[in-house]
Amino acid sequence: MREVLTATTEKNPTHGHSQEWLDNLEADFASKNEHLFVHIIPHSHDDVGWLKTVDDYFYGADQHDQQANVANIISTVVLELMDDTKKRFTQVEMKFFSMWWEKQSDRKKEDVRQLVKEGRLEFVNAGWSMHDEACTHHDDIMNNMMIGHEFLEREFGDYARPRIGWHIDPFGHSNANPRLFAEMGLEAWFFARIDFEDKAERMANQSMQWLWRPFSQSLGDAVQIFTHCMPDHYHQPSYLRYDERNFDTDPVIVDQNSTSFNADEKVESLR
């Protein structure tokens, strides 16, 4: 189990990118240290059963209960990635991805493997589902992660092993989960739900990122993991929402000759 769950960073230290590419990227960042870098992460968030059954979510049935068609999401994402090398996507839930994978031709599977090797399709968390932390036994947590990671190991190999934990929707977080994630070899984890008073204090003192040392009284710093709490749940900021469910956000207008120019205001709002 430990062998399956532990990320092998020695075998895959750059996760699909060449060391030269990373060195150039670091040098570029260093030369632009006055710039504001914004990381936008397109990612899946597909409940493995909530308002509909797993099959209903996957095939898009019962749209009156919830608008969701996971099979179409994955198919269109793969098409876009193959069409535009600048695009990236992060896939989270292995249950749905494995359902989609089983229906693909050998040619399409090879295309997807190439996307993963190039780092343009990346897997994070990669459990069978995004497990609960409050009511779940540690055996269930490990089995959930193991089944998802075994699927990736079998179909893609070492280069697809996830390095990031992604728990953006569980209702509350326990000390046990970051300990397990750290011991699985994950380098960091991200979550969204946090007590509103804790969040307000962290937002005020800019401490939404920290090094979590679970059970530190007994373990000290022997087990630790970089932790990031998202500021606006798992959405983009309210003033930068441009998907089909948000129609009240002004676009970013970069034409400085326009009386509607607002690019500087939009950038400043990200600080």
Q: Is residue 23 annotated as a catalytic residue, yes or no? A: no
Number of H helices, E strands in the chain: 11, 7
Q: Please state, in angstroms and rounded to a whole number, the distance separating the CA atoms of residues 206 and 81.
A: 35
Per DSSP, what are the bridge partners of residue 91?
Answer: 123
CA nearest neighbour of 155 among 84, 100, 75: 100
Distance, CA of 139 to CA of 146 (rounded, Å):
10
Contact of 104 with 139, CB cutoff 8 Å: no
Identify the burial level of 76 via C-beta atoms within 10 angstroms of its C-beta, where 0-12 means exposed, 13-18 middle and 19 or more buried.
exposed
- Pick the closest to residue 160 from 45, 18, 41, 16 (CA basis): 16
* Token reading at 238: 């309210």
Between CA 2 and CA 88 the distance in angstroms is 29
Cβ atoms of 16 and 162 within 8 Å: the answer is no
* C-alpha dihedral sign at 139, 143, 144, 146: positive
**How buried is residue 262: exposed, middle or buried, by Cβ count under 10 Å (0-12/13-18/19+)?**
middle
Coil, helix or strand at residue 250:
coil
Chain Cα centroid distance, residue 15: 15
Write down the catalytic residue from 47, 62, 111, 169: 169
Give catalytic residues, as residue numbers: 169
